[in-house]
Amino acid sequence: MDVVNEIIIVGGGTAGWLTAANLGKKFKNETGQSVKITLIESPDIPTIGVGEGTWPTMRKTLANLGIDESEFMTFTNASFKQATKFVNWKATPENDQKNHYYHLFTSITDAAEFNLGPYWALGDKSTTYADAISAQAQICEMGLAPKTIATAAYEGMQNYAYHLDAGKFAKLLKKVAVEKFDVEYISANVTGVNLSVDGYISSVDTDTAGRKKAGFFVDCSGFKSLLLGETLGIKFKSIKDTLLTDHAIAIQVPYKDMEQPISSSTISTAHEAGWTWDIGLANRRGTGYVYSSEFVDHDTAEQTLRDYIGPESKGLESRLIKMNCGYREKFWHKNCVAIGLSAAFVEPLEASAIFLVEASANMLCDQFPRNREVMHIVEKKFNKSFEFRWQKTIDFIKMHYFLSKRKEPFWQANKNLNTVPDSLLEILEHWKYHPVSKYDFTNVFEPFPQESYQYILYGMEFNQQLKFNESAFNMNSQAQMHFKKVQEITDYLSRNLPSNRALLKKVNQFGFQSI
Amino acid sequence: MANIQPIDKNVHANLKLKNNDNFIQSANSHVVPVVVHEFGVASQEFPIVFMKDQNTGQFRAIALLGLKPEENLFFDVKGWKGDYAPESLHCFPFLASQTESGSNNVILCADLDSELLNEADGESFFNDSGEQNNWLAEKANRVVSLVEKNKLTQEFIRTLLDNDLLVSQSLNIKLEGEEKFTINGLYVIDESKLNALSGDDYLTLKNKGFIAPIYASLFSMQRINRLAKLHLKK
């Protein structure tokens, strides 16, 4: 048997260090490391630091690594994220009348067990869908936290994720990987990649640390995709025909003072040729405009972002990022898997970047093929699984654009049927006459749950026609009970939760208890 | 809001402390903080459990005085109904404050808004020559010593947490003639986790002198029945 005893990860950043920490933990036992993990990071290439928003899955990921939540939050200037608020996505605002809807993390019922969607849709819609099935939109409107200082670490009174400084997050993960899980860290540039006769990677050459051999390689080299793309020749599939944005311009905005409220949601605001993100960390806001350069020039785009920020944007530095959206034809080839930007990138509308890094690292750890002779079977499973997850992610993001009633050319182009995947058109056709159901989500690795789709569909005022089949929804009294319960919870939480800012101060001062 | 001020013989020359044998400040409290030094004796009277301070999230050791919010089964206008009252009740309305942050020097302070303080009835703070009376000096010692005892209690709690010995516990209570109700937010020592500790970890607890208070807290859970009886007699 040809057993893998060393793994080399090329590249640091969130992807590299999260993978390193997870692998390190998996292979650490009482006598040391059963598989040696080495991470080679270039001292010269800065990390992109993509993604400042996570999914709630991050809580479990961090807890599994034994990281203290309060330490993590303080170190990465993290804050609590409970939703994405989509502003002006429904339609172009007229006479300054903004519109918005929420994509929340908490719902009163598990939609797979009891879906309240159709009961809301058949009702008078006097409350929004989000407000009907969750307290969380109101919590976000009030800028409240998802828990109190007396709630245990990683637990919430409402489900939550984080906004964080991706650069600092990578540093924290590095510390954990190296100090706690014995990952070897080499600071060097990879200058060459060597293959054996069977086309497997045998070693990498570095400028200052010599030649490093391993049985398995993880490519976390970012957009460069040094191992999977450049060396193994796995092609990049652009998705620019589906998702039309190709640039982002980013500006970090300091708080006026340390009392300024911190938003409980990522605020995504639609503009003429794209959308802006607005992410409140503990110490600053991160903002950016994701747009299509076919529909707006860079200077106008920058001005749009500065107008969004307001007068305080004066003098703040901006950073232009070219986005090449798409994914590799394969993510795993022979003894190399790509995780992070080296594998794929889509616009950060639904915070999928870090989330899919977590998912990749988890599957790699859970399925790691120690026996090289049968590695190709895991390769096949991994590729199938992640091709599915990326396609679902792309469809889900595209759905936001496709359902919009905005009129500008960029938005019209997005509705051009040539740009819409058939899989999305088909499921939307189904949902026009049927509620979203668990049978639409048969894969356990669906990146976005049933409820996420309903938040978007109903939030966007998708025209779902259920009236003709109303008698099929015969649990209305139970549904009404849940709607009433949501009102009670909203009332209770709005009186008992502290503001995001107030809780973050206490996290710094006291920290959460482990129980 | 409390009005905590340092005691100053120039300002408070005529101040007096009223008799407080029944600990009137606790009349509407169902919990009172306790220190690890008194777990043994307090466990004869009250359940000793742990609760989080809602303001800081930090754990405190407390004695349960009642089964419902604002119910103190030991309070009576005629006098305290237990054989023992926790140290913190005796110290009220006094507390010690650091002269400056991080300093070891403390000064005696009092809550001047307390109804127990006045210029008419009770024991004078200072005698006619402006010296503090003996009882006040003794009280000051008791208050300062409580600060030290609180520190050790915090270390005790930290040790319990580090050894994963605390668990959240809801008490389901059914009293005769009343609807069933639940007391939430309590944490207790988990006996099975205690028994599962390694020899080394157990020895560390023993060397710190924490075994006796751990068992005091465990046995004190029987006092719930006593509270139930007192509640029914009300």
Nearest to B59 among A148, A509, A513 (CB): A513
Q: Which three-class secondary structure string do you get for A101-169?
A: EEEECCCCCCCCCCCCHHHHHCCCCCCCHHHHHCCHHHHHHCCECCCCCCCCCCCCCCCCEEECCHHHH
Q: What Å distances lie between residue A107 and A142, A265, A490, CA to CA? A: 18, 16, 12
- B105–A contact, CB cutoff 8 A: no
What is the DSSP-derived secondary structure letter of residue A235?
P
Q: What is the mean pLDDT of residues B197-218?
A: 97
At residue B106, the pLDDT reads 83
Chain A with chain B: Cβ pairs closer than 8 A: 32
A27 min Cα distance to partner chain B (Å): 25
- B170–A contact, CB cutoff 8 A: no
Inter-chain CB proximity B57 and A515 less than 8 Å: no
Catalytic residue flag (residue A334) = no
- B13–A contact, CB cutoff 8 A: no
Q: Is the model more confident about A270 or about B182? A: A270
Residues of chain A found within 8 Å of residue B167, distances taken between Cβ atoms: 515
From A25, A81, A330, A398, the catalytic residue: A81
Inter-chain CB proximity B57 and A514 less than 8 Å: no
- Shortest CA distance from B186: residue in chain A: A515
Task: Summarize chain B as % helix, strand, coil (round to 5).
Answer: 35, 25, 45
Q: Is the model more confident about B233 or about A415? A: A415
Peptide bond into B93 cis (omega under 30): yes
Backbone angles phi, psi at A168, to 5 degrees: -70, -35
Tokens of residue A202, six digits: 């045998």
Q: Please, what is the end-to-end C-alpha distance for chain B in angstroms?
A: 30
At residue A16, the pLDDT reads 97
- B60–A contact, CB cutoff 8 A: no
State the DSSP H helix or E strand holding residue A251, giving kind and residue range, or none if neither. Answer: strand A247-254
**pLDDT, block means (10 residues), chain A with 515 residues:** 94 96 92 90 80 92 97 97 98 93 97 96 96 98 97 97 96 97 97 96 97 97 96 97 96 93 97 97 95 98 98 94 94 98 94 93 96 95 97 97 97 97 97 96 92 98 95 96 98 97 96 94
Inter-chain CB proximity A515 and B56 less than 8 Å: no
- B166–A contact, CB cutoff 8 A: yes
* Domain A6-76+162-237+325-392 identical in fold to domain A81-160+242-323+466-496: yes
- Shortest CA distance from A152: residue in chain B: B57
- B52–A contact, CB cutoff 8 A: yes
At residue A170, the pLDDT reads 95
pTM of the entire structure? 0.91
Q: Are A303 and A318 in contact (CB under 8 A)?
A: no
B168 min Cα distance to partner chain A (Å): 7
A117 min Cα distance to partner chain B (Å): 33
Nearest-Å Rg of the Cα atoms of chain A is 23
Mutation for testing the B interface, residue in A505, A513, A514 having most B CBs under 10 Å = A513
- A508–B contact, CB cutoff 8 A: no
In chain A, where the domains are located: 6-76+162-237+325-392, 81-160+242-323+466-496
B52 min Cα distance to partner chain A (Å): 6
Inter-chain CB proximity A150 and B57 less than 8 Å: yes
Q: What is the pLDDT of residues B80-126, one digit of tens each?
A: 999 999 999 999 999 998 777 777 788 899 999 999 999 999 999 99
Inter-chain CB proximity A149 and B57 less than 8 Å: yes
Residues of chain A found within 8 Å of residue B55, distances taken between Cβ atoms: 149
Q: What gap in Å lies between CA A328 and CA B192, rounded to an integer?
A: 52
- Shortest CA distance from A498: residue in chain B: B55
- B184–A contact, CB cutoff 8 A: no
Backbone angles phi, psi at B205, to 5 degrees: -60, -40
Measured N-to-C along each axis, helices A375-402 and A450-459 cross at an angle, to the nearest 10 degrees, of 20
Q: What gap in Å lies between CA A39 and CA A16, rounded to an integer?
A: 8
Residues of chain B found within 8 Å of residue A506, distances taken between Cβ atoms: 56-57
Inter-chain CB proximity B58 and A513 less than 8 Å: yes
Inter-chain CB proximity B161 and A514 less than 8 Å: yes
Q: What is the pLDDT of residues B131-155, one digit of tens each?
A: 899 999 999 999 999 999 999 999 9
Q: Please, what is the end-to-end C-alpha distance for chain A in angstroms?
A: 45
A490 min Cα distance to partner chain B (Å): 20
- In this structure, which amino acid lies at residue B42? A
Inter-chain CB proximity B167 and A515 less than 8 Å: yes
Backbone angles phi, psi at A277, to 5 degrees: -100, 150
What architecture (CATH level 2) is domain A81-160+242-323+466-496?
A: 3-Layer(bba) Sandwich (3.50)
At residue A192, the pLDDT reads 96
- A512–B contact, CB cutoff 8 A: yes
Tokens of residue A90, six digits: 């429904």
Ranges assigned E (strand) in A169-222: 184-187, 190-195, 201-206, 211-213, 216-219
Nearest to A506 among B57, B164, B166 (CB): B57
Inter-chain CB proximity A515 and B161 less than 8 Å: yes
Q: What gap in Å lies between CA B6 and CA B12, rounded to an integer?
A: 10
Helix (H, G, I), strand (E, B) or coil at A239: coil
Q: Are A136 and A83 in contact (CB under 8 A)?
A: yes
Ranges assigned E (strand) in A272-317: 274-280, 284-291
A505 min Cα distance to partner chain B (Å): 11
- Pairing mode, strands B94-98 and A344-345: unpaired
Mutation for testing the A interface, residue in B49, B50, B52 having most A CBs under 10 Å = B52
Q: What is the mean pLDDT of residues B70-86?
A: 94
Asked if pLDDT for residue B223 goes beyond 80, the answer is yes
Tokens of residue A458, six digits: 């109903």
Residues of chain B found within 8 Å of residue A509, distances taken between Cβ atoms: 56
Q: What gap in Å lies between CA A223 and CA A46, rounded to an integer?
A: 12
Q: Are B161 and A513 in contact (CB under 8 A)?
A: yes
Residues of chain A found within 8 Å of residue B59, distances taken between Cβ atoms: 513
At residue A300, the pLDDT reads 98
Q: Are A33 and A182 in contact (CB under 8 A)?
A: yes
- B167–A contact, CB cutoff 8 A: yes
Closest C-alpha among A78, A128, A121 to residue A100? A128
Least confident of A408-422, B8-22, B50-64: B8-22
- B168–A contact, CB cutoff 8 A: yes
- Shortest CA distance from A151: residue in chain B: B57
Q: What gap in Å lies between CA B117 and CA B34, rounded to an integer?
A: 24
Helix (H, G, I), strand (E, B) or coil at A23: helix
**Per-window interface: A 124-183 vs B, CB < 8 A:** 148-151
Inter-chain CB proximity A513 and B55 less than 8 Å: no
B120 min Cα distance to partner chain A (Å): 42
Inter-chain CB proximity A512 and B52 less than 8 Å: no
At residue B1, the pLDDT reads 65
Q: Are A296 and A272 in contact (CB under 8 A)?
A: yes
Superfamily in which the A6-76+162-237+325-392 domain is placed by CATH: FAD/NAD(P)-binding domain (3.50.50.60)
Neighbours of A15 (CB within 10 A): 34
Q: What gap in Å lies between CA B48 and CA B186, rounded to an integer?
A: 10
Residues of chain A found within 8 Å of residue B57, distances taken between Cβ atoms: 148-151, 506, 510-513
